[in-house]
């Protein structure tokens, strides 16, 4: 089996595990999903592939800044759903908000010397 396939299978298993946990306990699944497991796995793969500590440090720092614009979606989505907007329109609005905030971050980052 190729190395890429192994990485894809292990990463996919994590997502499948979270979705199965969510069927039983949404709160526990949210906790597991909020852990930086994918980022940690990504850093392990980077280390395994390159052994480049500077690249890992850069990845970790950029991940911090990219997480911030995604957080408001997790407040907007439940608010819209509870306002009876429906799941798909609420999810769409959350995705649009996140994209706009990512664009804002990319535009602001050079002005504040943020390492993206």
Q: What is the DSSP string of 66-115?
A: HHGGGTTHHHHHHHHHHTT--HHHHHHHHHHHHHHHHHHHHHHGGGGT--
Query: What are the sequence ranges of the domains in the chain?
Result: 52-116
Q: Check whether 1 has a pLDDT greater than 80.
A: no
Contact 50, 64 (CB under 8 A): no
Q: Check whether 89 has a pLDDT greater than 90.
A: yes
Average pLDDT over residues 62-68: 93
pLDDT at residue 79 in the model: 98
Helix (H, G, I), strand (E, B) or coil at 35: coil
9: left (phi over 0), alpha (psi -120 to 50) or beta: alpha
Contact 69, 105 (CB under 8 A): yes
Average pLDDT over residues 52-68: 93
């Amino acid at each position: 089996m190729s190395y890429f396939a192994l990485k894809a299978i292990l990463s996919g298993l994590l997502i499948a595990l979270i979705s199965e946990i969510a069927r039983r306990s949404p709160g526990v699944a949210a906790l597991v999903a909020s852990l930086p497991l994918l980022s940690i796995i990504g850093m392990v793969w980077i280390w395994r592939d390159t052994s480049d500590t500077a690249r890992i440090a850069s990845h970790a720092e950029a991940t911090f800044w990219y997480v911030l614009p995604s957080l408001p979606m997790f407040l907007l989505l439940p608010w819209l759903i509870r306002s009876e907007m429906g799941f798909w329109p609420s999810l769409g609005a959350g995705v649009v908000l996140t994209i706009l905030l990512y664009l804002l971050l990319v535009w602001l980052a050079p002005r504040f010397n943020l390492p993206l």
